[in-house]
Amino acid sequence: MVPLGFFDTYVKAVGDTPIPERFHRWAAISLVAAVLEDRVWVEHHREPLLPNLYVLLIGPSGCGKGTAIEFALKQWMALYGAPGRLIKGALTKQSLLDALGGRKTGLVGGRASVQAVEPNPHPWIVSPELYNALGTGGPVAEAFMANLTDLYTNSSVPTTEGTRQWGSVTIAGHCINWLAASTSQWLRRSLSPDAILSGFFGRVVAVEGTYVTQWQQSTYDRTQQMLFTQLQAHLQRISMCSGAYSVTADAQDVRTQWLAHREVPDDEFLRPAYQRDDDLLMKLAMVLSAGESDSLVIERKHMARARSLVAEARVSLPMLVQLAHTTTHSDGLGAAMVLLRRSGYMMHTQLVKVLAKRGVTAEVLRKYITTLQQADQVIVHKTARGDAYEWKAETKAF
């Protein structure tokens, strides 16, 4: 493959660290999408499609989600010299609407106070720990998620929102990018099953990662400062991109063939994401093209990589569906899935020893394996030492 300018440089600048590469990859993609704002688009179903993205990194505590986000934030600060459009930390529906519409609300002397401020219609919202932003869920968290759902797509018609206390605010020409991270446990505490299974996650790139299995010393290239300088040059160029993208015939052929041969998911909760996969494909193709040049042309290589990234983005959706339906019984099944996904291959006796501490017996484990076999997620191998379980390989992107 011909390396992508920005993304290839980004990977080198990160260095060899014990952090899942996909976390760095998607943090970089979110960064570029946020830098592009609404200045570029592609005609898609006769409407301009913007490259904005919602990205959620999911993994256990200490696996590097926050570090990956922090590296992307460092590039943002170096480019702009100040937070600017960046909104980091806790948000409510009201505070987001205020930021988009250009006002500041609060109580002064027990009375509602509304002040006009500079609007921020193109924010990059970053939540390094989603739980800190949403808390233990409830109406406030779910109202915020519902609001993000509504605002995912730009509209030529302004949106007016209001309350009896704060009055109305008008949102126009918005373009929101969102990057967040969470453990699966905190995600479950922050959002109800209905929220997880709603259309919101059909709009989200959920990227699951875990601990690196072998210890690895963090190393950095001696040319680190040069790489940082190159990254900033790329981002400066990207920040100047403006206009409509065109799609080459070869790139369009990749898209057409992919659309024609996709498998429709059996699970109704996966259907919203499936319906938006084409949108996601085009968004990612724009981001990848911007990372390489300012020619505003989506070539075959960009579309092919975008196709691989869409596949990677959808791998974690079944996990979210399972998370929404988790009960005491299904917690054991989830634990078995996590262990098999991390190791890739385990003997039955090994798995029993680990899961026995969670109250899972050998007999129950057999039932879990049967379930995973029927879901086409596990392959059972008969060996001289007994059964061995292999986690089916997942699609990998660049």
Q: How many Cα atoms are found within 13 Å in the side-chain-facing hemisphere of 358? A: 18
Res 224 pLDDT > 90: no
Q: Domain check: are 202 and 335 in the same one?
A: no
Q: Domain check: are 90 and 221 in the same one?
A: yes
| Domain of 150, in residue numbers | 5-242
CATH number at residue 144: 3.40.50
* Most distant CA pair in the chain, distance: 77
The answer to the question of residue 74 being in a domain is yes
pLDDT tens, residue by residue, 92-146: 888 899 999 999 888 788 787 888 899 999 999 999 988 877 766 677 788 888 8
Residue with the bigger pLDDT between 155 and 73: it is 73
pLDDT at 111: 81
The answer to the question of residue 294 being in a domain is no
Nearest to 338 by CA among 60, 66, 17: 60
Beta strands 177-182 and 103-108: pairing type? unpaired
- Which of 195, 221, 242 terminates a domain? The answer is 242
Q: Domain check: are 210 and 334 in the same one?
A: no
pLDDT at 140: 77
Q: Domain check: are 232 and 338 in the same one?
A: no
pLDDT at 361: 86
The answer to the question of residue 311 being in a domain is no
CATH number at residue 384: 1.10.10.10
pLDDT tens, residue by residue, 267-309: 878 888 999 999 999 999 999 999 999 999 999 999 999 999 9
Res 3 pLDDT > 60: no
The answer to the question of residue 315 being in a domain is no
The answer to the question of residue 377 being in a domain is yes
Average pLDDT over residues 7-29: 92
Q: Domain check: are 117 and 18 in the same one?
A: yes
Q: Domain check: are 160 and 32 in the same one?
A: yes
Q: Domain check: are 218 and 111 in the same one?
A: yes
Residue with the bigger pLDDT between 60 and 137: it is 60
Residue with the bigger pLDDT between 193 and 43: it is 43
pTM beyond 0.75, yes or no = yes
DSSP string, 169-209: EEE-S---EEEEEE-HHHHHHHS-HHHHTSGGGGSEEEEE-
Q: Domain check: are 332 and 222 in the same one?
A: no
Distant-in-sequence contacts of 163-167, Cβ < 8 A, 24+ apart: 163/94, 165/112, 166/94, 166/105, 166/112, 166/114, 167/114
The answer to the question of residue 269 being in a domain is no
Q: Domain check: are 148 and 29 in the same one?
A: yes
pLDDT at 395: 46
Mean pLDDT over all residues of the chain? 87
Res 222 pLDDT > 70: no
The answer to the question of residue 312 being in a domain is no
Nearest to 156 by CA among 137, 172, 141, 144: 172
Ordered strands of the 124-127 beta sheet: 86-88, 124-127, 177-182, 54-58, 204-208
pLDDT at 137: 66
pLDDT at 206: 93
Q: How many domains does the chain have?
A: 2
Res 51 pLDDT > 90: yes
- Which of 218, 242, 266 terminates a domain? The answer is 242
Average pLDDT over residues 166-177: 89
Q: Domain check: are 334 and 223 in the same one?
A: no
- Which of 183, 213, 242 terminates a domain? The answer is 242
With cut-offs at 50, 70 and 90, classify the pLDDT of residue 2: very low
The answer to the question of residue 264 being in a domain is no
Q: Domain check: are 52 and 187 in the same one?
A: yes
Q: Domain check: are 232 and 350 in the same one?
A: no
